[in-house]
A = this chain, B = another copy of it.
Amino acid sequence: MESTNKTIIVFSGDLDKAMAAFIIANGAAAMGDEVTMFFTFWGLNMLRKPEKVKTSKKSFLQAMFGKMMPRGADKLGLSKMNFGGMGAKMMKLVMKQQNVTSIQELIESAREQGVKMIACNMSMDVMGIKEEELIDGLEFAGVATYLNEADQSNVNLFI
Contact = CB atoms under 8 A, between A and B. Distances in A.
A20 B24 contact: no
A64 B90 contact: yes
Chain A: interface residue count, which band? 35 or more
Binding site secondary structure of chain A? helix
Contacts of A80: 13, 42
A155 B7 CA distance: 10
B93 A61 contact: yes
A126 B98 contact: yes
Interface string A8-25: 010101001101100110
Contact of A20 (B11, B28, B91): B11
Contacts of A143: 23-24, 27
Nearest to A61: B94
Given A23-B122, A65-B94, 9 more contacts: A9-B20, A9-B157, A11-B159, A13-B80, A42-B80, A59-B94, A61-B93, A61-B97, A150-B154
11 contacts: A9-B157, A16-B42, A28-B147, A59-B94, A62-B94, A100-B122, A100-B125, A100-B126, A156-B156, A157-B158, A158-B159
Interface of A: 4, 9, 11, 13, 16-17, 19-20, 23-24, 27-28, 31, 33, 40-42, 59, 61-62, 64-65, 68-69, 79-81, 90-91, 93-95, 97-98, 100, 122, 125-128, 143-144, 146-147, 150-151, 154-159
